[in-house]
Structure 1
């Protein structure tokens, strides 16, 4: 079942979730789910984060995986220009891109029989991800580190750093491994498991 309507649900505190949240996709799994995993997708790190979560963390038997993407609408426009149409057009384009990103990964989770929801949000990623984690009472947040330079990180702040320091649950931050590192790691694991003296 999928829907593009605005999501309005009662939160744990009895309030109503942000009207700008859109439920893009939902798929029910088994009835014995015991953990909520918030998986944050960003176009630059989505593949790495998703693959890491699949290979190392999420479980079909116990996890509800909530995929989220936050899109920012921050278009500077001169005050004397009527930009309403332009902003609407850009907003719609970014909305479509966000929904496409979420559907791509949600449909793959469906094929693998994971229980999942996909939610598109609008606003500052730091605050929106933190809000959603609290709202759904996430047990774990998994997100990718964006490769920002030192100056940009200082000016804008790191979303992953902010979430790690302010989120009430465990936060896992994934990073892409270089091919050489992956090969070295494989050899290290093999040597540990095959050695008689494997106490190192």
Structure 2
């Protein structure tokens, strides 16, 4: 799959928290970012927005449904290039969020079996102080059947985790 990508905003010296924040463009992720910005952010913090690309995401796209038993190398290469471009545009948009909020930080795209795994791995790599993530507000049954990023992070993170649930969830 495509290599991991990263976008960095104005890097300054920091002595505050290293915050890993899960971001995917969804409303719960945007709420988590806003909550952090409004309630916890300190100008000395280094914020790492993590966009996790699930390994199976490309392989299970609609384009493969048309021909489940054959693999055309050119089609696969084209799909991966298109996905890489989509990821790059998302990262640029997330980096713009950091810039607009005058936050020191990085936007990073990582590949993982699931988003929670990607968040925990990045947090360990950068010696993060805290992980912040949003939640979709699933019921216990749906969380069990569908899986939950926040549940995964809560159970596997070696550092504190803040799960931001919007009051309307």
TM-score by length of 2: 0.79
What is the number of residues matched between the two proteins? Answer: 159
Q: Distance in 1 between matches of 2:150 and 2:80?
A: 24
Secondary structure class of the residue paired with 2:162: strand
Residue 113 of structure 1 and its aligned partner are, at CA, apart by 2.6
Once the two structures are superposed, the pairs formed by residues 1-200 of structure 1 within 5 Å of their partners are 20-29=3-12, 31-44=13-26, 45-60=28-43, 62-74=44-56, 75-76=59-60, 77=64, 80-124=69-113, 125-148=115-138, 152-178=142-168
Unaligned runs of 5+ in 2: none
Q: SS state of the match for residue 27, structure 1?
A: coil
Q: Could you say what the CA RMSD is over the residues aligned between the two structures, in angstroms? A: 2.5
Secondary structure in 2 matching 1:126: helix
Counterpart of 1:137 in 2: which secondary structure? coil
Query: 1:14 — aligned with what?
Result: none
CA 1:128 to 1:82, structure 2 compared with 1: closer, same or farther past 3 Å? same
Equivalent residues of 1:39, 1:66 under 8 A apart: yes
Q: RCO higher in 1 or 2 (8 Å CA, sep ≥ 6)?
A: 2
Larger gyration radius, structure 1 or structure 2:
1
- Partner Cα distance (1:25, 1:52) in 2: 21
